[in-house]
A and B are shown apart, each in its own frame.
Chain A
C-alpha cells in the first residue's frame, strides 16, 4: 500500500503534447477514478504510472519513491487491461501466478496465493481451465486475480468493464468496489463512463485535453462543478446550460423569461452568465420557465422530457407522469441549486436558488 504523487507530469508524442502538466495526489488506500472523454489523456497517464509509457517531464512517486526511471516490474504495481490480456496458452492458475513464477517463488507459496485469490474472486472451480473456456465476467475476474496475487502497492485499472455487457458491468462494478474495500490497496481506475466513476471512486479526477478540469469527491463534483466542462460531464442526463444575463433579483434568459433567484445580488446587472440546472431539480409550476416539449420518455419511476427553452435544448426529469406531445408547453421551476458560470472563462461563479417567477 502506498500513496501516489503525480507532480507536473508532461507527455509529448513527437510535437504533440498529450499531457500538459498534471498534479494529482492519491492517498494511501484511496480509490481514484480518472475520467474524461476519449483522447483526454487518462489512459496515457495511467500507462505512465504503470511504466508502459515514458514520462517526458515531471515526476511520479509511488510510496514516496520517484519511479520515473523504473521498469514496470520494479514499481510494485499491478494492472488490469481493458481486453484482460490473459495469456491464452496458460491455465487460469498459471495466468494468475506467472509473475510469481518469474520471481522464483516456491510451488507451495504460489499454490497458497493462487488459492487465496481464487477464493476471493469465486474462481476456485476454474483454476484448471484455459481463458477461452471462460465467460467474459470470469475472464475479467482472472485478470483481477492476476493483480491480487502480486499483492501490489497500487492497482491500475484501464477501463476494465467496457468489454462486458450492461448487466454484468453493474455487478462487476460492485464487485470491484467491495474488493477494494476489503483489500484496502490504493487503486487508480480509468473510465470514460462518469457513472462508473461516480459509483466506485473515493475521488474523481476529471480530465480533458491533457489537463485536469477538477479533482474532488463524486458529490463535490456533482454539487459544485468548477467549470462548464465538469458541469456537463458529470451527471446523467447532463446538466442544462442556459445562456442569460443577470438582472435585478435574478437571471433573464435569451427568450425573455426571467428566473427569480436568491444569491445573484453580488453580480452587476447585465452581466452575461450561463445558468446550469440539473434535469432532476425541475418541478412543474403554475408559472415558470416555459419548456416546449419535443418528446417525453416515460421510464416508469420518472418521465424524461426533452424539449427546449427558447432555442436552447433542455432535458427535465420529472417525478410526475407527464404525457406531453410535440409542441406542448410545460412550465417548470428548478427546486435545487442553479449553478452560475462565466461564459468567457467558463468557470463557476456561484450557486443561486430559485425564488419566485414573474
Chain B
C-alpha cells in the first residue's frame, strides 16, 4: 500500500525534473574524475621514488642489462645497510648542521615575528618588508660573497659556517610565517598578560610561544626538510669529507670512471628517511598549522 502511493507520487516528478537525473549522474561522475586525476598526479609524483627504490636494491649488472624500471632480478637489501654504514659520517654531519639551523631559525623568527606583530615601534613595516624581501635575493648571487666572507672569517669548512648560512637563508620565510601567525592571535592576550603582571619576555615565553605551537610544528617540518636537503651550500662551504652533509655524501658513490647507481639510490633512500620521520612526527600539527588561518575566520 505504501509502496503504491510512493510510486504514484514519484512518477510525475520524474517527468517534470529531467534535469535532476543529469545532476544525479553529474555528481559521481565529477567525483570519479577528481579521484582519477588525483591518483594520476600521485602516480606521477611517486614514479621517481619508485625508480629510486627499485634501483637501490639491485646489482650494477642488473641495472645495465634491464634498465631502471624492470623488477630487480635479485633483491640486494644489503645495498641499503652498506649505504647506511658508508653514509654514517655524512648523516652525523647533517644532524650537526640541521638541528642547530632549525632551532636557530625558529628562535630568531619567533622573537622577530612577535616583535613585528605585537610591538609598535618606528619603522616596523619597513623592517618587515626588508626582511621578507631578502628571500627574493637569488641564491646564486650570494654564493661567492658568502664563500669569501666565510673564508675571511676563518670559517671555511666548518659546521658553523653552514649553520649561519642556513639560518640567514631561512629567516625571511620563517619571520613571514611567524609574524602572520602572531597577527591572528588576539592582542588582548598580551594585555591580559600585562595586567596579570607578566613582563614582555614572560608574555612571549609563557603565552605566545605555547599558543604558536601549530605554526611552529609546520615550520619545523618545512625548515628541517629544506635544510636537510640542501646541496649547494654543503658543496660550496666544505672541503674535506668530515663537514659535508648527506646530500653531498651521496655523490661520494660516484667514482672517477663509473657511477654506482645502486649505491647512489640507496644513499638517497637513507638520506630521505630522517625528513620522512620528522614529517610523520609533526604531521598532525602540520596539517592544522596549514589550515589554521582559514578555520579561525
Binding site for B on A (CB under 8 A): 50-52, 71-73, 77-79, 81-83, 85-89, 98-99, 102-103, 146, 150
- Measured in the bound complex, the distance between the Cα atoms of B194 and A112 in whole Å is 24
Cross-chain contact B195 with A103 (CB below 8 angstroms): no
Cross-chain contact A87 with B189 (CB below 8 angstroms): yes
Contacts of A150 in B (CB 8 A): 196
Cross-chain contact B196 with A73 (CB below 8 angstroms): yes
B3 lies within 8 A of chain A by Cβ: no
B297 lies within 8 A of chain A by Cβ: no
B211 lies within 8 A of chain A by Cβ: yes
Cross-chain contact B197 with A83 (CB below 8 angstroms): no
Contacts of B210 in A (CB 8 A): 89
Given A52-B191, A83-B188, CB of A88 within 8 Å of CB of B196: no
Cross-chain contact B194 with A52 (CB below 8 angstroms): yes
- Measured in the bound complex, the distance between the Cα atoms of B186 and A87 in whole Å is 10
Cross-chain contact B196 with A98 (CB below 8 angstroms): yes
Please pick, from A51, A72, A88, A103, the residue contacting B211 in the complex, using a CB distance under 8 A: A88
Cross-chain contact B196 with A81 (CB below 8 angstroms): no
By beta carbon, the residue of chain B nearest A149 is: B196
Contacts of A86 in B (CB 8 A): 192
B115 lies within 8 A of chain A by Cβ: no
- Measured in the bound complex, the distance between the Cα atoms of B197 and A71 in whole Å is 9
Given A85-B186, A85-B189, A87-B192, CB of A99 within 8 Å of CB of B197: yes
A-B contact pairs, 7 of them (CB 8 A): A51-B194, A73-B196, A73-B198, A85-B188, A85-B192, A86-B192, A98-B198
- Measured in the bound complex, the distance between the Cα atoms of B191 and A71 in whole Å is 11
B276 lies within 8 A of chain A by Cβ: no
10 pairs of A and B residues whose beta carbons are closest in the complex: A73-B197, A85-B188, A99-B196, A85-B192, A89-B210, A72-B195, A81-B188, A102-B197, A72-B194, A98-B196
By beta carbon, the residue of chain A nearest B197 is: A73
- Measured in the bound complex, the distance between the Cα atoms of B196 and A72 in whole Å is 8
Binding site for A on B (CB under 8 A): 186, 188-189, 191-198, 202, 207, 210-211, 213
Given A87-B207, A89-B211, CB of A79 within 8 Å of CB of B192: yes
Please pick, from A78, A82, A88, the residue contacting B195 in the complex, using a CB distance under 8 A: A78
By beta carbon, the residue of chain B nearest A89 is: B210
Cross-chain contact A81 with B192 (CB below 8 angstroms): yes
- Measured in the bound complex, the distance between the Cα atoms of B198 and A73 in whole Å is 8
Minimum CB–CB distance for B40 against chain A, Å = 40
Cross-chain contact B189 with A50 (CB below 8 angstroms): no
- Measured in the bound complex, the distance between the Cα atoms of B189 and A51 in whole Å is 15
Cross-chain contact A73 with B195 (CB below 8 angstroms): yes
- Measured in the bound complex, the distance between the Cα atoms of B191 and A78 in whole Å is 11
- Measured in the bound complex, the distance between the Cα atoms of B188 and A77 in whole Å is 16
Contacts of B195 in A (CB 8 A): 50-52, 72-73, 77-79, 99
Please pick, from B191, B198, B213, the residue contacting A85 in the complex, using a CB distance under 8 A: B191
Cross-chain contact B194 with A102 (CB below 8 angstroms): no
Minimum CB–CB distance for A226 against chain B, Å = 34
Minimum CB–CB distance for A157 against chain B, Å = 13
Minimum CB–CB distance for A298 against chain B, Å = 39
Contacts of A85 in B (CB 8 A): 186, 188-189, 191-192
Minimum CB–CB distance for B210 against chain A, Å = 4
With A79-B195, A98-B196, A146-B196 known, 14 other A-B pairs at CB within 8 A are A51-B194, A72-B197, A73-B194, A77-B195, A85-B188, A85-B191, A86-B192, A87-B189, A87-B211, A98-B198, A99-B195, A99-B196, A103-B197, A146-B192
Minimum CB–CB distance for A152 against chain B, Å = 9
Contacts of A72 in B (CB 8 A): 191, 194-195, 197
Contacts of B191 in A (CB 8 A): 50, 52, 72, 79, 81, 85
Contacts of B194 in A (CB 8 A): 51-52, 71-73
- Measured in the bound complex, the distance between the Cα atoms of B192 and A98 in whole Å is 10
- Measured in the bound complex, the distance between the Cα atoms of B135 and A48 in whole Å is 41
- Measured in the bound complex, the distance between the Cα atoms of B210 and A102 in whole Å is 17
- Measured in the bound complex, the distance between the Cα atoms of B192 and A89 in whole Å is 14
By beta carbon, the residue of chain A nearest B195 is: A72
Contacts of B207 in A (CB 8 A): 87, 89
Contacts of A79 in B (CB 8 A): 191-192, 195
Cross-chain contact A83 with B186 (CB below 8 angstroms): yes
- Measured in the bound complex, the distance between the Cα atoms of B195 and A77 in whole Å is 7
Contacts of A102 in B (CB 8 A): 196-198, 202
- Measured in the bound complex, the distance between the Cα atoms of B11 and A352 in whole Å is 76
Contacts of B189 in A (CB 8 A): 85, 87
By beta carbon, the residue of chain A nearest B187 is: A85
- Measured in the bound complex, the distance between the Cα atoms of B196 and A71 in whole Å is 11
By beta carbon, the residue of chain B nearest A80 is: B192
Minimum CB–CB distance for A70 against chain B, Å = 12
By beta carbon, the residue of chain B nearest A88 is: B211
